[in-house]
Amino acid sequence: MKVVKFGGSSLATGAQVEKVYHIVVSDPERRIVVVSAPGKRFADDMKVTDLLIRCAKSALEGGETEALLQAIVARYQSIADELHLPGDIIRKIEDDLLTRLHHDKSRPEAFMEAMKASGEDNNAKLVAAFFRYKGLDAQYMSPKEAGLLVSDDPGNARVLPESYKRLSALKEKPGIIVFPGFFGYSESGDVVTFSRSGSDITGSILANGVQAEIYENFTDVDAVCAVNPHFVRHPKEIREITYREMRELSYGGFSVFHDEALIPAFRAGIPVNVKNTNNPDAPGTRIVNKREHKHGPVAGIASDEGFCSIYVSKYLMNKEIGFVRKILIILEHFGISFEHIPSGIDDITIILRQNQMNSEIERKIVERIMDDLHVDQVKVEHNLALIMIVGEGMRRAIGTAARASRALAEAHVNIEMINQGSSEVSMMFGVKQAVEKKAVQALYDEFFQKVMA
């Protein structure tokens, strides 16, 4: 049995839903279909999830909701019209949205979660109705009924381990199951969503639960590229990659597949195949446990911006017990998480996402580090990009760091920071955001374009 997930762009219009139907019927093993909410139809379009968030915010602030609600219903209506779908599915969707909208708002977060999740929930109902209209034996399945239990962390839910056993019962259900992505239920019965783009996570959890033969993740590109196609023209496509490599690349900025979605499939040893709804015959990218390293040490290069670093220096820092803990307590006090901490003898740099701080918080943090830890220097540097070169082959290849830093030097890119420690499969370079593109191009040329002697 295969679990197949379709992303928002694969379900944005009636024509796309038709393609989804053809993909599902072309293989009788495709028995569990996970759907996102309708996504963007064109570059400036809005995703249904974003419309829902806007509508929920406005409702919580006592503002206007009618126009937004109608815009959301219109998205489903246009899909149903294009598919010539008879029946009262749109009225049901509208009723559902009105019920959610008029629900108790005394717990604003729970209200927001229920609104957000309706995008996939109603879309699953619509897709199931369309499949039945086409003559398939298809049923919508509620995550509550199926037993998808998650932690009570709104917008950041984690699957609870007992879910897997419950979900395994889906194997016995006849016909095709259409399952909404992106959310589950807390033990107290509330809707709780995963982080954004979390339908990928639902698909992976279901694949684990039913011990699927494969988890097919349909999106709108032929394959995962070795580097961001906005930075490098016609980059190489990745045919096969390991879970660890993909996890690092997804974390590093690859947006094709959610980084948290790999773990459930990985734990059950289920291969993931990223494929294109608009070109389903293309082989796509397979994410597997082990692969051969035929094409050099590096599998891909990811980059992401919006980081800042807090550099702290104090003579004899290495001798001071609990120094890092004290810094982390200060960050914790301000609710700030860090990404990396490269350190030296008398210095330490804490890399974090800069959108967590404003100038006021930054000033207070610097002040506290100075006052509480009596350091020699604290310096905050903004607008950094982190570039990760990733590949399991790096473990054995000698000179990868030398090749990378030479390529950056030749492109006149100043490296602000290098981190290659704990993870043997990646190497990270911090550079100024302004030179990110140039740096990525230089690294790509080095590891993917150069024919080594």
Rounded Cα distance between 178 and 4, Å, is: 10
User: Nearest distance from residue 115's CB to ligand ASP, in Å?
Assistant: 12
Binding to ligand ASP (CB under 6 A) within 166-195 occurs at 181-182
Is 219 labelled a binding residue? yes
Calpha distance 147→66 (Å, rounded): 34
Establish if 197 lies at the interface with ligand ASP (CB under 6 A): yes
CB of 194 to ligand ASP, least distance (A): 8
220 is in an annotated binding site: yes
Q: Does 40 bind ligand ASP (CB under 6 A)?
A: no
Q: Count of residues binding ligand ASP (CB under 6 A)?
A: 13
> Can you name the residues that pair with 107 across neighbouring β-strands?
none
Q: How far apart are CA 362 and CA 364, in angstroms?
A: 5
Is residue 271 within the footprint of ligand ASP (CB under 6 A)? no
Q: Determine if residue 92 is left, alpha or beta; phi over 0 gives left, psi from -120 to 50 gives alpha, anything else beta.
A: alpha
- The candidate with the shortest Cα–Cα distance to 152, out of 121, 183, 127, 196, is 183
Residues between 112 and 151 with contacts to ligand ASP, criterion CB under 6 A? 119
With a CB cutoff of 8 Å and minimum separation 6, the contacts of 365 are 310, 330, 331, 334, 336, 357
Among 180, 198, 264, 284, binds ligand ASP (CB under 6 A): 198
* Interface pattern 8-27 for ligand ASP (x via CB under 6 A): x-------------------
Contact flag: residue 47 with ligand ASP (CB under 6 A): yes
Give the whole-angstrom CA distance, residue 336 versus residue 119.
Answer: 30
Q: Which is nearer to ligand ASP, 23 or 442 (CB)?
A: 23
Q: Which helix (H) or strand (E) holds 153?
A: none
Smallest gap, in angstroms, from Cβ of residue 215 to ligand ASP? 14
One residue of 36, 277, 285, 400 binding ligand ASP per CB under 6 A? 36
Name the token pair of 275: 């494929």
Give me the residue whose beta carbon is nearest to ligand ASP: 199
Task: Determine the residue type at 92.
Answer: K
Kindly state the tokens that stand for 273.
Answer: 């195949």
**Residues making up the binding site for ATP:** 219-220
Applying CB under 6 A, which residues contact ligand ASP? 7-8, 36-37, 47, 49, 119, 181-182, 196-199
Residue numbers in the known binding site are 219-220
